[in-house]
Structure 1
């Protein structure tokens, strides 16, 4: 079964909007694991507008499933990841002022940089993943960096699915086929939801993990977090 990792950034956003420590991100992470999620994802940004760097440290002893830290590998981020040693680090080429992730790496242009960063993480026993667009050229480039996995950027799929165009899955199917042939592990994330996750899972061979945050938290407002997580797990079987 494909693993579900819950991105808890939005819980931190809610906390930060009021000050104080409600809701508590560590307690929420403990809850989602208790509800059945197989991983916890965070994505700290330099301005710490949602998850703070201290949260990353506070979560370390409480995440007993897979701990995935996403981010742009600037020096501060790299140092933090090497100290915490999560299960996985996912490299995302975010601009500092990006509201959310909006593009994958150009794995060809940034090949040498990625090779160096990935080597450092892997030497410290941390599994690596690269956030990539559904482009065969970029999958080939990812293989050259030495990464363990790729994370397919699924916004385009989610947009097409919402429009009723299920053909939007085809570039992802092609990329998954190539990744499998190249022995790259496959993760996916961005705008995946209860509505579109099942179809994605059914068509992507070798899908190891999905990271879902915004939709899952929004759905939980209506249906409850425990119920929503169980619904995702059912659709990912």
Structure 2
């Protein structure tokens, strides 16, 4: 798999599938390999950070600049492992431990100075990127303080990996009534990733009407048939 001009063998596919904890099917891995080859324009066997920025879904991510330090010079196996951390099939533990036993993709994003600990100021800095003008600085500080307190920490705490897992899990495990889920189908359409979007209403006693899905910056390359939108 060092040269992107070569084809994947069945052994390669199974090896990559095992490396990503079976979060992608074999067909999805083949599709990802085609995408990898498109990004690796000079067929050098790895993707540079600049080539990663050519992916609209990545470039538009508010954390893209922070993620770049982790995606430079990825070979195909590392490329799939990186993407597996964002798979909706991944468990919390898999998302957190997908790359290294002592470090994680998510943890590294927040550990800005790379000292192996995450501080209140570092989390706040990432929150600024995520929330932009939608939240004031006071609101961000209050929300973060509440989250830390609920998990048993304070704004003065320095979170090690296990501490971070505890805080992160307490946030993502909370149930909400209405969720919007998005994940790649493994198909490529005119060189672009095809996504499936699910809306989930967990409230049995309330209904949602006139739902509008708006994806700023994303342009579909084919006409969307309204009949594909259905009630499950």
Q: Which has a greater percent of strand?
A: 1
- TM bin (shorter chain): under 0.3
TM-score (norm 1): 0.27
Q: Which one has more relative contact order, counting CA pairs under 8 Å at least 6 apart?
A: 1
